Structure formats: C-alpha cells, structure tokens
Amino acid sequence: MRLSYLASGPLVWLVTIAVTTLLLVASAKALWLVVPFLLAIILYYLMFPVVRRLVLAGVSRETAAALVAAGVALLAVGIMIPLLPWLAAQAITGEATFNRYLEGGRVLVDRTLATLESQFAFLRRMNFHAEMGKMATEFGETTVQRKLGEALLAAATWLPTVLLAPFFAFFLLRDGGVFAKLLASGVPNAFFERTIYMFDRVDSTARSYFQGLLKLTVVDTVCLGIGLLVVGVPNALVLALIAAVFQWIPVVGSVVGCVLVVLVAATEFPTNPWIVYATVGVFAFARLLDNFFFIPLTVGRSIRMHPMPTVLMVFIGGAVAGVPGLVLALPLAGVVSAVVGTVGGIIQDPRLRARHAFAKSLQRQRISADFQL
C-alpha cells in the first residue's frame, strides 16, 4: 500500500538519473566539502546505534551524542599515539617501500610473462615478454608514480577539511531530528504527510546503505583475512581490512585492493609465484561470496532501484566525479529516487494540488478580508 505514495516509471528513472548526475557534477566541484560530509555520514551511522543504546538507558540525546563523539575521538587518539612512530618511519622510508613493492610486482609480471612465453610458441614469435615487460615498466615508472603523487597531493589538500567530518557527524547525531522538523515546517499542509514519508524513506535508504556497507566491510575483512592467513600472506588481517575499505569504491575498488595485496605477496615471496596465484584465487572466491551472498544481504536491498539505472549511475558517477563519484553514486541515487518519487507522486495527484490551492485561497481571503468597504 505504501507504494501508492510514490510515482514510478521511466520518467521517474530519467529524472532521478538526471538529478543525481547534476548533483555528482556539483559534488565534483566541491570535493573539499563532499568528502568530509561523506565521512561524517559514515561516522554518523557507525555511532548511531551506540547513541540509541544510551538514549534507551535514559541519557538525553544531546548528552549521548556528546559522549559517543568524545569516546570516538579518544579512541582515535588512543589508536594514533602508538602508531605515530611507525607512521613517522613510514613517511621517511615511504618512497623506498613503495618502490620495493613496485619492484616485487614487476618481477612477478616478468616471471609470469617468461613462463607464458616458454609455454606458447606464438608468444615467442611476437616477442611478447620483452614488449609487455617494457610496457609494464613504463606504466610503473611513469603512470603509477605520477598518479600516486597527484593522489598524495590531493589527500594533503583535503586533510584539514577531513577533520570537519567528526564535527558534522556530532551535529547530525545531536540535531538530526531538529533539521527534519525545520524542513517540514516550510512544507504546505497539503503535502505534509507525503513529506514526512519522504524523510522516513530517505533516512531508511541512507541508513541501510551505509550500515550495510560497514557490515560488508567487517564480513569482507574476516573472509579475506582468513583466506590470506591460510595462504600465508603476512599482515593478513590489516591487508584484508585495507582491501575491504577499497570495496567501498564500486568496480575499481576491488581491483585496487587485489593489486595491493598481490604486490605485497609478490614482494614477500619473490621465489614462490604460487602464493601470489593463491592470493588472487582467495580474492576471486571472496568476490563470488560478496556478489552472491554478502552484498544482497547487506547493501543490496537498500537502494530500492531497478538494477539497470543503478549500474548506469555507478558508471556516470565515475565519469563525472571520479572516485568520490563512484562512492557517492549509489547512495545519492537511492536518496534522489525517494525524493523524485515523492515529488512525482504529488505532481500526479490533482486532489493534493487542489487542496493546496484551496488552502492558499483561504489564506488570501483571510489576508484581504478588510479590503472591501
């Protein structure tokens, strides 16, 4: 019965895609604001269950939000303090470490190509090993290093604004309900119930998406971690966590995560390529589990959109706003779809519009009651 509230159909799809694309283009121009806000939303949904537990225990929402935000800040400081010496050491030896792993990857590619060439005569005739090896070296020495430099520079630029994320998250936790009431107060009476339904839908879409994403990260970390431990890759759980966080970026993330772990495995076991192949196998198996079990159980149902516009939105997001666009495309499309559906429902309901017009005429009569003598 609830569905009758929402407009649906190809026009709603088109408007949803158009509005989401426009928002993604705008977000690409204001990444300094979008990135901390996105992190704030993730933090908000991470902290929200704890705040709810405290409210349930009798603490006011304001105090609960302050307590949880302070707790998370202390936890972050507590984690960072022991890590600082290690991070400082990494900053000094960062380039050397990076080059070491890159070299490990190059050696792996080199050996794989040599093995392939020894197995297949047509590859030998093409001089496959030498040609591909040259391309891989060029790619590693120019493209990767340039892109990494740009990414590090961008990260350094965003770092101060990223610090805004905990503040945004705190105010969302404390005053989220107030914002909703403020917005609803500006809505005409005729559309009031539709608006509160829309708020509920937007909140449930965003909540189920981001909480699903966090659950998926935990499940992926555990599965990948166990797989990498069995294979014998060092720091398996840390690598699994990094790869699972990369999964937040649709399409590209899983490839980047896999390459990262493969580079580590190739560097740590330069003489045993089978460990590297087993690592790739673990990744492929984890992806299968993700696609068939974990994603449908976590983020799968949150967007409530047809798979076709959903996939289209991911590619549009990547094209217009890069990596942040890929991350934002799905939750943004889900939220925009709820808003467009509600507004479409109002536009398609002549009775609601007539009621609004009637309320306005009553208001006009009231205002102009003393105009006539």
Partner 1 sequence: MLGFLQRRRAEHPRIAQIRQLVLFATLRPKELRIIDGLLYERRYLKGEIVFDQGEEGQALYVIVSGRVLICRPGDPVAEVLAEIPAGSLFGELALLWGAPRVAQVRAAEDCVLAALSRADFESLIDTHAAIASKIAMQLARDLGQKLGARYLAMESRPL
Residues that bind partner 1 (CB under 8 A): 1-2, 4-5, 52, 54-61, 63, 67, 177-178, 181, 184-185, 189-190, 192-194, 196-197, 199-200, 351, 355, 358-359, 362-363, 366
Nearest to 90 by CA among 203, 238, 197, 266: 238
Rounded CA-CA distance 150/144 in Å is: 10
DSSP string, 116-141: HHHH-HHHHHTTHHHHHHHHHHHIII
For residue 12, the minimal CB distance to partner 1 (Å) is 18
**CB-based contacts of 39, cutoff 8 Å, min separation 6:** 162, 165, 169
Residue from 356, 253, 340, 263 nearest 304 by CA: 340
Task: State how far the Cα of 27 lies from the Cα of 32, in Å rounded to an integer.
Answer: 9
Nearer to partner 1, 163 or 354 (CB): 354
Smallest separation, CB 307 to partner 1 (Å): 27
Which lies closer to partner 1 via its Cβ, residue 156 or residue 370?
370
Nearer to partner 1, 6 or 333 (CB): 6
Nearer to partner 1, 55 or 242 (CB): 55
Q: Least distance in Å: CB of 61 to partner 1?
A: 7
Shortest gap between Cβ of 371 and partner 1 (angstroms)? 17
In the bound complex, what is the minimum distance in angstroms from residue 74's beta carbon to partner 1?
Answer: 17
Q: Which is nearer to partner 1, 64 or 286 (CB)?
A: 64
CA distance 279 to 258: 8
- Closer CB to partner 1, 56 or 96, in the complex: 56
Whose CA is closest to 278, among 323, 332, 236, 338?
236
- Whose Cβ is closer to partner 1: residue 68's or residue 316's? 68
CB of 197 to partner 1, least distance (A): 5
Q: What is the DSSP string of 3-39?
A: GGGS--SHHHHHHHHHHHHHHHHHHHHTHHHHHHHHH
Residue 163 DSSP label: T
CB of 154 to partner 1, least distance (A): 39
CA-to-CA distance for 259 and 283, rounded, in angstroms?
Answer: 10
Per-residue DSSP letter, 191: G
